Amino acid sequence: MSVHDTIGDFITVIRNAGQAGKSSCTYPHSNLRAGIVSILKERGFVLDCSEAKSDKGHKCLEVQLKYVDGEHAIRGINRISTPGRRSYCGYRDIPRVLGGLGVSILSTPQGIVDDKTARKNKLGGELLCSVW
């Protein structure tokens, strides 16, 4: 079975690995996924992300998951824009996640950015996901 929503699948891999208590998870590399993980690292939801080679020699992202008092640091992660229903918004309409405690991740003309950066630079774009 082929995966058509690779971002949604990537988010699910991170969520399931955290719920299973894994220390890390791997997924095939793409610049979009690397941008999402760099924001998660910057905002303190994951410990680290590194590029690794798979058994077949392909580039993979290895995400080191973060736990706080034995619980996964990512309490929830939702895919907003899907291939069947894209969701775009201007910088004024970017939703605040849990009153600013969470983060929305957007794909903009300037690259992958979080909600605070998008508002500060007045950037709108496609809402990829929200994390809290």
- CATH number, domain with residue 127: 3.30.1490.10
60 and 81 fall within a common domain: no
Mean pLDDT of the chain: 94
Whether 52 is in a domain gets the answer yes
**Domain annotation covers residue 98:** yes
Mean pLDDT across the stretch 115-119?
Answer: 97
Number of domains into which the chain is organized:
2
Q: In the structure encoding, which two tokens stand for residue 129, read together?
A: 């996901």
Rounded to the nearest angstrom, the gap between the alpha carbon of residue 44 and the centroid of all alpha carbons in its chain is: 12
Structure tokens at 3: 């995966």
Q: What is the pLDDT of residues 1-13, one digit of tens each?
A: 456 899 999 999 9
Gap between the Cα atoms of 21 and 28, Å rounded:
21
User: Does the pLDDT at position 113 exceed 80?
Assistant: yes
Residue 1 within any structural domain of the chain: no
Query: How far is Cα 5 from Cα 38, in angstroms, rounded to an integer?
Result: 20
Q: What is the pLDDT of residues 27-62, one digit of tens each?
A: 999 999 999 999 999 999 999 999 988 888 899 999
Whether residues 90 and 65 fall in one domain: no
Report the pLDDT averaged over residues 119-124. 97
